[in-house]
Structure 1
Amino acid sequence: MSGPLAGIRVLDLTTVLLGPYATQILAEYGAEVIKLEPPEGDVVRQIGPERHAGMGAMFLTLNRGKKGVMLDLKRPEAREEARRLAASVDVVVTNIRPAAMRRLGMDAATLRASNKALVYCGIVGFGQSGPYAARPAYDDLIQGIAGIPMLARRQSGEARYAPLALADRVTGLHALSAILAALVERGRTGKGQEIEVPMFETMASFVLGDHLGGLVFDPPMDGGGYARLLSPDRKPYATRDGFICAMVYSDGQWRRFFAAIGEEERFAQDPRMANHAARTRNIDAIYAELAAIFATRTTAEWLALLEAADVPCAPAHTLESLRADPHLVAVGFFTEEEHPTEGRLTRMAPPVRFGNHDRNIPRPAPRLGEDNDAEP
Structure 2
Amino acid sequence: MTNLDTPETAHVAPPANRSRHQARLTAGLVATVIFLTAIAPLATDMYVPAFPQVAAELTATATQVQLTLTTFFVGMALGQLAGGPVSDQRGRRRPLLTAILAMTIASIVCALTPTIAVMTVARFVQGFAGGWAMVIGRAVIVDLARGAQLVRVLNVIAGVGGIAPIVGPLLGAVILQLTHWRVSFWAVAALGLAMTVAVLVAVPESLPPERRHGGGLRNFLTAGRVVLGHREYIGYVVVAGSAMGALFAYVATSAFVLQSMNGLSPVAYSIDFAANAVGMTVAALVAARLAGRVATRKLILAGQLAALTAGVAMLAGALWFDTPLILAMVCFFVLMSAQGLMIPNGGALASAAVPDHAGTGSAIQGFVQWVAAGTIAPIAGLGGEHTAVPMATLMIAGAAASMFGLVVLAGPKAMNQLVVDSARSS
The structure having more radius of gyration, on CA atoms, is 1
Greater share of strand = 1
Question: What is the TM-score of this pair, normalised by structure 1?
Answer: 0.27
Greater share of helix = 2
